[in-house]
Amino acid sequence: MRVGIIGCGLIGEKRAASLLANGDVVAAAFDVVSERSSALARKYGAEACASVGSLLGKVDACVVATTHDHLVPTATEVVRAGKHLLLEKPAARSGSELAPLVILARERRVVVKVGYNHRFHPAAQKARAILDAGGCGDVLFVRGRYGHGGRIGYDKEWRADRAKSGGGELLDQGVHLVDLARWFIGADFTEVSGRVETYFWDMPVEDNAFLTLGTSARQVAHLQASWTEWKNMFSLEIYARHTKLQMEGLGGSYGVERLYHYQMHPKMGPPETVVYEYPGADGSWSLEWADFKRAVADGTAVCGGLEDALAVLRVVDRVYALNQRS
């Protein structure tokens, strides 16, 4: 595919590299900061475009990796043009903002994948395969923690501007936890409670989010996302009737990625334990693009689409609403 990158910052660069690794071509680039689009275009031999509209005529598909306030307006323009799209998470600032795009994409019959790349980390893929193979029993509950500590001036960046971001850490890393919990549990969350707080950073959005979510089958997800995690960390524990799966680390500053598989014996006692370690480079971006490319080719569903993103944002909306009333 000939692909256009819209939003040429850090994530746009990661997306460009991932599609190149899958045999596709960066054909065009656009960013509101023209120097960024020019730099990315030079690197990949693409054309730097002056607008989204001029880019759309040169490509088969697009990546949209803008600030949150531009995600839906840009995606709408792409979908109306009939181009397939990988839209960076969280896809919108709210569920109500995203809902019309879900309908439009269905009407135009284009593939839209939302960039929840954490599903494609090797530990997550292995955990999904273990659950799907059977022998684990029903998933009972999930416990997750995810965070980093920001950097000097973090409270002056665009994520701290509610008009641009829509919210703080819950919409940044928290949505990954909600998406993964929903994916592993296999059901929507019908009960939502949570608290958002700003403990450290001088900003109008939250730097910590604490969520307890429940399904109609009484499954629970207990999650925390933090911008005051002074040592970057990621941890997700999946408790099934006969199995515990524990994901730790994401590589890089988050530590070596590992999956611990604890399988209970019929007589209980200490479980059988297998540890999978993934010390290599982060391949989730490439695997996610491959999933998107497959869906474009065969018309089957992507792993993490607009409906999944909408379900996550509805949880976020309810948490924010609860905190407005308190």
Whichever domain contains 274, its CATH number is 3.30.360.10
Sheet of 25-30: strand order equals 47-48, 25-30, 2-6, 61-64, 84-88, 112-115
Residues 192 and 224 in one domain: yes
What does R_g of the chain's alpha carbons equal in angstroms?
A: 20
Q: What is the mean pLDDT of residues 202-219?
A: 97
Residues 132 and 275 in one domain: yes
273 and 172 within one domain: yes
pLDDT at 322 over 80: yes
Average pLDDT over the chain reads 97
What is the domain range of residue 41?
2-117+288-302
Q: Measure the CA angle with vertex 139, ends 137 and 142; round to 5°.
A: 150
Is 64's pLDDT higher than 90?
yes
Both 65 and 158 in a single domain?
Answer: no
User: In terms of domains, do 21 and 94 share one?
Assistant: yes
Cα–Cα distance list, 247 to 3, 141, 258 (Å): 33, 14, 6
Residues 207 and 150 in one domain: yes
d(CA 84, CA 82): 7
Whether the CB-CB separation of 41 and 31 falls below 8 Å is answered with: no
* Residue 146 and residue 231 share a domain: yes
For the residues 103-127, what does the mean pLDDT come to? 97
For residue 325, name the pLDDT band (cuts at 50, 70, 90).
low
Question: Does one domain contain both 88 and 139?
Answer: no
311 in a structural domain: no
Average pLDDT of the segment spanning 138-147: 98
The answer to whether residue 133 is domain-embedded is: yes
Span 18-47, average pLDDT = 96
Residue 315 is assigned to a structural domain of this protein? no
Q: Into how many domains does the chain fold?
A: 2
Query: What's the whole-number mean pLDDT along residues 148-164?
Result: 96
Same structural domain for residues 131 and 253?
A: yes
Token digits for 23? 């045999």
For residue 184, is it within any domain? yes
Residues 181 and 253 in one domain: yes
Q: Looking at residue 326, what is its pLDDT?
A: 41
Domain CATH code at residue 293: 3.40.50.720
In this structure, are strands 25-30 and 2-6 parallel, antiparallel, or unpaired?
parallel
pLDDT for residue 169 is more than 90 = yes
Asked whether residue 50 is domain-assigned, the answer is yes
Q: Are 271 and 297 found together in one domain?
A: no
**pLDDT for position 309:** 98
Residue 314 lies in a domain: no
Which strands make up the sheet holding 257-263, listed edge to edge? Answer: 191-197, 208-214, 220-226, 139-147, 233-240, 243-248, 257-263, 272-278
Same domain, 78 and 130: no
What is the pLDDT averaged over residues 101-114?
97
pLDDT of residue 56: 97
